[in-house]
Amino acid sequence: MTETAIETVEEFRLRARTWLAANVARVDPEAPPPSSGDDDAEWLHARELQKRLYAGGFAGICFPKEYGGLGLSHEYQEAFTEEADGYEMPLLLNIPTFSICAPTILDMGSEKQKKEHLGAAIRGDEVLVQFLSEPSGGSDLAGVLTRADRDGDEWVINGAKIWSTSAYAGDYALCLARTDWNAPKHRGLTMFLMKIDSPGVDLRRIKQVNGSTEFCEEFFDNVVLPADAVVGEVNDGWTVASRQLFHERTAVGGGSQYTSGRGVRDTRKASDDFVALARETGQADDVHVRELVGQAYAHRTVQEQLIKRVAAAVASGELPAPAMSLIRLFHAETDWLNTDIGLELAGSYAVAGPVGRGPLELGTGYLSRQAASLGGGSSEMSRNLISERLLQMPREYAADRDVPFSEVKHSG
């Protein structure tokens, strides 16, 4: 193919189909590979798969060519994801590396940051994560207490972060810190790119109720960063964080154009699993069970169409960026619904079934049911965004909106 020839989506699809069959292992539906993110071996395998995609010419499909991607439209990514269904994919790299952190750097980073970090991620050489939430902050991201003090050409970071997804496996993190304590809380923040193994970073893993240790907490003790670690502008970190949250809500809702493959808990495939579960548990002829499976299928159909419609409207400018909160909120509601339906169908098998995937996994998944309503900001925050930014309803009152942060009372 000459450089001037334009490969159609169908030509790309057929090339991907041939390449996948020859170069990537298929997933055994009876014994799929682990995808918890808890094990170093999983991450090494994900990186190896990403390197394989890159070598084959199927990595970074929607990222610009100048930063290591292919520079193609979302239709090409969708075609590849459809063809890759049933094959091993580096799913662990989808969130937060490719769907959140890399797009944020693409939108807000310097040319040096884009060329270094986007290319490294696309090649499978670098994992990017987020250092955002803090022990005292709750859902108030702008209330961060982690501080960054200027010392000549360097910045010195002190503070703590928590609930950092997969941070233990990462190389760099987008870290939000306060650089001006006399400005109102949204206007005194700066975003930094922090090397996770920097001296002074103490990273610890958190064990969750479902046994996972994917989440981490970090403590910063005089962590020194160079001046070019700033993403965006000094004291304009909220602009960067807002864009980052836009990508996170898009990713959580299932609308990111930068991810390849679908996870085992994709709510859009749940109804298919429920048909098999109903048959396995001898309930396929039960009218109530059939209604539950139908309800899951209906939500799946609506979710697929909602993602396409909202993503296209935001891309064209018909809807503003906060509209991605619609798919983020619907994802949470759909995930809750599927979790509840799965548990009802599994019954006692959800707590006493065979070890491994299947009904018992539905019981374990129920323990972390709340996660869907928290990732990318809480569902309550999504409703606020929808009401204020889309429906133009009055903004929620905030007593500290224009008050210097040094005068704001906080638990820290």
Residue 2 banded pLDDT, cuts 50, 70, 90: very low
Q: What integer pLDDT is reported at residue 161 of this predicted model?
A: 96
Distance CA 297, CA 183 (A): 49
Cα 34 → chain centroid: 18
Least confident of 22-36, 163-177, 223-237, 254-268: 254-268
The predicted-structure confidence for 149-176, as pLDDT tens digits, reads as follows: 999 999 999 999 999 999 999 999 999 9
Looking from the CA of 12 toward its CB, the CA atoms found within 13 Å total 22
Residue with tokens 């085992």: 264
Q: Set out the domains of the chain in order of their start, with CATH numbers.
A: 9-94+102-126 (1.10.540.10), 130-237 (2.40.110.10), 265-390 (1.20.140.10)
Nearest to 168 by CA among 101, 119, 217: 217
Q: How long a stretch of residues is the chain?
A: 412
Neighbouring C-beta atoms of residue 24, cutoff 10 Å: 18
Measured distance CA(237)–CA(213) in Å, rounded: 29
Residue 112 CB partners (closer than 8 Å, separation 6+): 228
Burial grade of 348 (CB within 10 A; 0-12, 13-18, 19 or more): exposed
> What pTM does this model have?
0.86
Phi/psi at 175 (5° precision): -120, 120
Highest-confidence segment of 97-101, 132-136, 279-283, 356-360: 97-101
Q: Give the pair of three-digit tokens for residue 344.
A: 């009802």
Q: Is the peptide bond prior to 96 cis by the omega test (within 30 degrees of 0)?
A: yes
140-164 burial: b if 16+ Cβ within 10 Å, else e: ebbbbbbebeeeeeebbbbbbbbbb
Residues 325-347: pLDDT tens digits?
898 899 889 989 998 999 899 88
Residue 278: alpha-carbon gap to chain centroid = 31
Q: Is 85 helix (H, G, I), strand (E, B) or coil?
A: coil
Q: Are strands 172-178 and 201-205 parallel, antiparallel or unpaired?
A: unpaired
Query: 138 versus 201: which is more confidently predicted?
Result: 201
Among 81-90, 350-359, 369-378, name the most confident range.
81-90
Say what the pLDDT of residue 211 is.
82
pLDDT, one tens digit per residue, over 365-407 is 888 888 778 777 788 888 988 899 889 999 887 777 788 888 8
